Structure formats: C-alpha cells, structure tokens
C-alpha cells in the first residue's frame, strides 16, 4: 500500500518504524530522544510500531553513564520493551545494519495487525553526504560508506527472504536523521536497493536532528504525508524558550521511483557529456570556464561559519546549478538544453521541500537549496580530499554513471589520485 494515496480522512495507516541509532560518539545523549520520544507518540497512535536498535552509553538502571551497550527494543502502545542488551555493536558495519533491517521486517511479518504496514528505517547519527555516515568511535571512528548503507538494506531484505520465501520484504522509505544526506548519490543507491522514498536534509542539521517520533506519526496520517513530514521537521524547535532553534535549514522528501532515477542518470550524464565535448571546439576552453563559473556561483553545503576546509562546499543544490547553466547565454544551445532536461529530471524527484531563506544558526541563506545536492567540485582540492580517511564522495555508482569524473577533468577540478584508485579497483 502506498501511503501517498491514503486520504487524510481515512483510518490511520499502519507503519513499522525501525530506529537504528548509533550513539557511539558525541551525539549519544542529545539524540537519545529519537528513541525515547516514541513512548509518548505510540501511546497516542496505535498505528505505529517501533523497532529500535540503540547503541548508547546513557545512564539507565542498572547502567551508569558511559557504560556503552546495544539495546534492542520494541515500542508500542506507550511502552518500551527492551528485549535484549549486549556488548556494543559496530553500528558502522554493513552487517550490523543488515541484521537490523531483517529484524525489522521480521517484526512486521510476525504481527498480524501490522502485516500490511509500511516499513521505514530511521538512521540516527552523523552523516557525511555521499561519503556515508554512521560513525562508531569505539570501532575505529570510521563511517559506513554510502553505498554500503544502501547495500545493507538490500542485504537485510535478502536475509529475511531466505527465512521467509515469498514474504513482503519491502522497505518503503528511509529517514536519514543525519547531516547532508539529501543527495543524488544516496537517492540513487537507495533506489537500487528497492527503497521508494528518502526524507533528508541537504545540509548539516543541528542536534538532535529531525523529530523522528513526530515524523513517524505523520506517516500514519495519510493525505499529503510528504509535505507533513517536511513541515513537521522544519517547524520543530529544540532548546529553551530563550535559545530555541530549528534543526534543519532545508528538508526534502524524494521519490526514488526507478524510472525517475533512470531519467536523472540519463539526463545528467547527457549534460556532462555535452560539456566534455566542448573541448573539441576552438573556443572550448573558454566555454568550459563559463561552465565552471556557473557551478561556482552556487554555494555548496556547510554554509555556516568556520568551515573553509570542509569537503561539503562542493555539494551543491543540483537544480540551482543546472538552472545557472540553462540560462547562461554564453553557452551553446545543446548544453543549455541538456541542463534544462537535467534540472527537470532532478526536480521530478522532489515530492515535498522547504527551506529557510535565512537560517540564523548558520548565518546563511538557503533560498536556492531546493531538492538534492550533487558533488560538483570546481578544483582538485574539492574533488575527494577526505578519501584517504575513508570518506569518499566519488567512489559511488551515481558519480561514475553520470561521468562526473570526466566533467571534473573538463573544468579543471579532477584530482589525479582518483586515477590510481581506479586502476586497482
């Protein structure tokens, strides 16, 4: 059942909401509410069932503050049932997330009241855009690569189907309660894993991030659920009355239908190829400089102060970039037309969106931050500078499929180190 088709006046639509919370880092205490808030929410909403895996060091009898462990629980009808406690799992491991997805699907299958429910997976932790997320300090501090996050969902579905051949293994959506995850790369990877919707912010969020419990409640209400999810996030406030703040500068719900993602891949690749082909013209070098200036004119993410060295400055709102290229009369019509098609294809992914024209906590405008971002470097320094530390924004299916490396070469943004990676891959 597609929640997008449920009338607002209809009976509540059942949702099994899987919360995968990695507190094995500095976000532990502040994001714990993304589990505990569900006690209140499920007390008032019988259509919501929560499956949680929470790695935390927050004090709870008999544990003292700082005693890290992983708790498995279900939250339903206003009660949290902790069903298992074990030594802390590596939440940055693909196999850990896969097992959680399988367990969430098992919870739906085992409950007759929820057998037709949608399953959403909520990823609660640090995010690094196309570089991945889910950082586990006690297991080396690495992030799970973005392709592995999406791949873990497919792995979990496969594990579930092995035990239950022919059963419903669908995962309707992912709430990326992480920074910077509304990207074309992540949307593409999730779609290839069979996920239909992504709810995420293109920018760094302020902890504790998106209000997971309120979002889950909105998913059960039907009607224009996507707009309700966005509004719930953008209107959330944390902190005291004198210092309260919103968590997100911008937020999106994206439709990852395979045909839409295929259109994006095709049209973005066509645009990139048209730019690369400019090199064959006598004025090609100048035209490529115009393209680079168009890309540069759209600010990337991490727009807040004191972030001059952050890789996310190359993660730019894709629609805004394509609109700049589309309206640049200095460029050939073939390039401008291709940019128009790419802009329309990306825009078709956006089911709902909101942004703040001025977001005071960041001291920055987000008026152009509509829809997903794309990794679009304009210099070798922006290409993939954190790759040696395990956070790569170029080693993913989308970047390669749209010939983004070739575009980077054409506009002088390619880093030669990537060639060495490709040779041994």
* Predicted pLDDT at 418: 46
Model confidence pLDDT, tens digit, residues 49-79: 999 999 999 998 999 999 999 999 999 999 9
* Helix, strand or coil, per DSSP, at residue 375: strand
**Distance, CA of 181 to CA of 175 (rounded, Å):** 10
Per-residue model confidence as pLDDT tens digits over 102-140: 999 999 999 999 999 999 999 998 898 999 989 888 888
pLDDT band (50, 70, 90) for residue 388: confident
| Separation between Cα atoms, residue 92 and residue 95, nearest integer Å | 9
Where is 31: in which H helix or E strand? helix 28-31
pLDDT tens sequence across 342-377:
999 999 999 999 999 999 988 899 999 999 999 999
Categorize the per-residue pLDDT at 5 as very low, low, confident or very high, splitting at 50, 70 and 90: very low
The answer to whether residues 412 and 379 touch, using CB atoms and an 8 Å cutoff, is yes
Question: What is the number of H-type helices and E-type strands within the chain?
Answer: 15, 11
Residues with Cβ < 8 Å from 340, sequence gap 6 or more?
322, 326
Burial class (CB within 10 angstroms; exposed 0-12, middle 13-18, buried 19+) of 223 = middle
Q: Tokens at residue 184, please?
A: 């074309």
**CATH number of 3-248: 1.10.10, 1.10.3470, 3.40.50, 1.20.120?**
3.40.50
pLDDT tens, residue by residue, 296-335: 999 999 998 766 677 789 999 999 999 999 999 999 999 9
Confidence (pLDDT) at 308: 66
Looking at residues 205-221, what average pLDDT do you find? 95
Mean pLDDT computed over 268-277 = 98
Measured distance CA(249)–CA(234) in Å, rounded: 8
pLDDT surpasses 60 at 424: no
CA 233 – CA 218 distance, rounded (Å): 10
DSSP assignment letter at 121: E
* Percentage of the chain modeled with pLDDT above 90: 81
Which residues fall within 8 angstroms of residue 259, CB to CB, at 6 or more apart?
A: none
Enumerate the CATH 3.40.50 domain ranges in the chain, comma separated. Answer: 3-248
Say which residues have a Cβ less than 8 Å from residue 51's Cβ, sequence separation at least 6. Answer: 16, 17, 18, 19, 73, 74, 103, 104, 107
């Amino acid at each position: 059942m597609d929640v997008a088709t449920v009338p607002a006046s209809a009976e509540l639509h059942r949702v099994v909401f899987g919360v995968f919370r990695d507190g094995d880092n500095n976000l532990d205490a502040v994001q714990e509410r993304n589990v505990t808030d569900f006690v209140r929410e499920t007390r008032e909403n019988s259509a919501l069932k929560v499956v949680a895996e929470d790695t935390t060091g927050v004090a709870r009898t008999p544990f003292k503050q700082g005693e890290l462990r992983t708790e498995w629980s279900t939250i339903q009808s206003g009660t949290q049932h902790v069903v298992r406690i074990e030594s802390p799992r590596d939440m940055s491991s693909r196999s850990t997330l896969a097992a959680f997805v399988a367990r969430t699907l098992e919870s739906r299958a085992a409950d007759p009241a929820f057998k037709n429910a949608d399953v959403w997976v909520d990823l609660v932790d640090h995010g690094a855009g196309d570089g991945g997320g889910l950082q586990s300090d006690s297991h080396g501090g690495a992030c799970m690569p973005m392709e592995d996050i999406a791949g873990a969902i497919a792995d979990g579905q496969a594990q579930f189907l092995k035990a239950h051949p022919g059963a419903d293994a669908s995962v309707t959506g992912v709430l990326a309660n992480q920074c910077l995850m509304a990207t074309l790369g992540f949307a593409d990877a999730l779609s290839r894993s069979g996920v239909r919707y992504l709810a995420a912010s293109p920018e760094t969020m302020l902890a504790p991030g998106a209000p997971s419990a309120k979002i889950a409640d909105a998913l059960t209400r039907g009607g224009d659920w996507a707009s309700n999810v966005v509004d719930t996030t953008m209107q959330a406030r944390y902190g005291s009355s004198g210092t309260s703040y919103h968590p997100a500068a911008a937020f999106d719900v994206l439709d990852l239908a395979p045909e839409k993602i295929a259109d994006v891949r095709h049209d973005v690749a066509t645009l990139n190829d048209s730019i690369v082909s400019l090199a064959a013209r006598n004025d090609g070098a100048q035209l490529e400089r115009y393209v680079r200036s168009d890309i540069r004119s759209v600010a990337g993410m991490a727009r807040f102060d004191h972030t001059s060295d952050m890789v996310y400055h190359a993660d730019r709102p894709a629609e805004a970039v394509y609109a700049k290229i589309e309206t640049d009369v200095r460029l050939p019509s073939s390039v401008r037309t291709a940019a128009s098609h790419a802009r329309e294809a990306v825009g078709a992914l956006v089911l709902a969106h909101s942004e703040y024209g001025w977001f005071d906590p960041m001291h920055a405008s987000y008026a152009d931050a509509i829809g997903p971002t794309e990794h679009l470097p304009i210099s070798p320094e922006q290409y993939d500078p954190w790759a040696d530390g395990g956070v790569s924004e170029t080693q993913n299916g989308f970047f390669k499929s749209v010939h983004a490396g070739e575009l980077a070469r054409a506009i002088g943004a390619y880093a030669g180190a990537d060639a060495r990676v490709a040779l041994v891959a």
